[in-house]
Amino acid sequence: MRASATSIGLALGLFLAGTATAWSKPYHAIKGESTLKYVLIHPMHKVTGVANDFACEVDLSPDTVSSKITVSAPVAAFDSRNSSRDSHMLEVVNAIKYPRVEFASGSVKPEGDGYAVAGTLTFHGVSRPVLFHVTPRFKGDKVEITGGFDIKLSDFKVKRPSLMFVPVKDSLRIEFDLFSQR
């Protein structure tokens, strides 16, 4: 569950950062400043896991067909501020067999106040298409890119964890707040 959030958010942020400057320059998310977050809902509480350490590269070219965004994050990088819950999540997503969550773009197109991004999210050994919108904001020498989307745990063959025999909702929200140098 944690991993899904990581890949998409990173990729989007970097792509947008590149649009304001020269083409064909790779952009990278600033570690420690950029965040990927998952939000999981249980009837009794909401769980948020945050990752600050992941790889994201955006390589833009004048034709959007050749533009690429890639994101890779270790599922163990997500912290929900509860080590017991985080250990259980690593078991649920089989982190030993599937240690990373990854995103690779298929297309990036201007849309409204930002960009529409389509690509493939690979999580828990399953690859699925995802679509989302990213919004860039220029702040001094940095670009901040924000966005989010929802996935279903069942689409990625993740057994939903339970608390008191009640499983979490199947929907997992992924949000990102990425920073890159311009």
| pLDDT tens track for 133-176 | 888 888 889 888 888 899 999 999 999 888 788 888 999 999 98
User: Per-domain residue ranges for the chain?
Assistant: 2-181
Q: Please report, for the chain, how many H helices and E strands are present, in that order.
A: 2, 12
| pLDDT above 70 for 63 | no
The distance in angstroms from the start CA to the end CA of the chain is 31
Task: Map tokens 């890779």 to a residue.
Answer: 72
Q: What is the pLDDT of residue 123?
A: 95
State pTM to two decimals: 0.80
Q: What is the pLDDT of residue 21?
A: 40
81 token code pair: 């501020």
Q: Which residue has the higher pLDDT, 76 or 58?
A: 76
Q: Would you tell me how many other CB atoms lie within 10 Å of the CB of residue 167?
A: 13
Query: At 18, is the secondary structure helix, strand, or coil?
Result: helix
Residues forming beta bridges with residue 181, ordered by sequence position: 142
**pLDDT, mean over the chain:** 81
CATH architecture of 2-181: Beta Barrel (2.40)
The CA distance from 142 to 164, in Å, is 45
C-alpha distance from residue 14 to each of 48, 82, 108, 172, 176 (Å): 23, 30, 12, 23, 11
The CA distance from 149 to 122, in Å, is 15
User: Sign (positive/negative) of CA torsion 178, 156, 131, 64?
Assistant: positive
Which tens digit of pLDDT belongs to each residue from 31-57? 999 999 999 998 888 999 999 998 887
